[in-house]
Amino acid sequence: MPVQLLPETPSQTAGPYVHIGLALEAAGNPPRQQEIWNVMAKPGAPGEHILLMGHVYDGNGHLIRDAFLEFWQANHDGLYDTAYDQEKPFNGFGRTATTDVGEWRIETVKPGPVKNASGIPMAAHINVSLFARGINIHLQTRLYFGDESEANAVDPVLNLIEQPHRRESLIASRCTVDGKLAYRFDIHLQGESETVFFDF
């Protein structure tokens, strides 16, 4: 008997009201009791505490003020933990959204390097998913650290990008915010400075 494949379910965009259902605080609504949000590392979490921040721009260079972002990363030892627990000092999964001023923020620790499926070490990085109006399927990218240039130069994923100047779109620049170590990572959906997105 021949196999009958089911048709693909139609996709829809996140719509202009993505904050209302996914980013309650950013929309001005009270958060749920068990909210996964933008503090991935509590003060007692081991590792180097950092602030990640940035903007999301559309193809015309305008700020997107209602984008929703998810982050998944290894801990400071380069280990992934799939069990989320709000009581733990560190969780490798977090969410945030751009605000009325167009900026998003995440508090976490700098991840340690991990190996890919072939056992090749990868530079420290954070996986990022982006949801926004007008996007049918969320976009996947990576955030690398500008002060890890030696590791970045031999990273197997960065080196899949044929144009070296395009790799720069995945590099977060180191800075200081209110005396804290921070990294700025702006995402461009289209245009000359378009961020590299992956089809994972």
- Between these two residues, 151 and 25, which has the higher pLDDT value? 151
Number of domains the chain contains: 1
pLDDT band per the 50, 70, 90 thresholds, residue 70:
very high
- Within 8 A by CB and 6+ apart from 13, the residues are 133, 134, 135, 136
pLDDT score of 16: 65
pLDDT band per the 50, 70, 90 thresholds, residue 100:
confident
Q: Which domain holds residue 58?
A: 18-188
Residue 89 sits in a domain whose CATH number is 2.60.130.10
Residue 29: inside a domain: yes
Residue 125: inside a domain: yes
Residue of 104, 109, 151, 138 whose CA lies nearest to 126? 109
Residue 137: inside a domain: yes
Q: Name the pTM for this structure.
A: 0.90
pLDDT score of 6: 87
Taking residues 153-165, report their average pLDDT: 96
Residue 33: inside a domain: yes
Residue 176: inside a domain: yes
Is the pLDDT assigned to residue 97 strictly greater than 70?
Answer: yes
Q: Is 66 exposed, middle or buried (0-12, 13-18, 19+ CB in 10 A)?
A: buried
**How is residue 65 annotated by DSSP?**
S
Residue 2: inside a domain: no
Tokens standing for residue 100: 């009325």
pLDDT score of 84: 92
Residue 170: inside a domain: yes
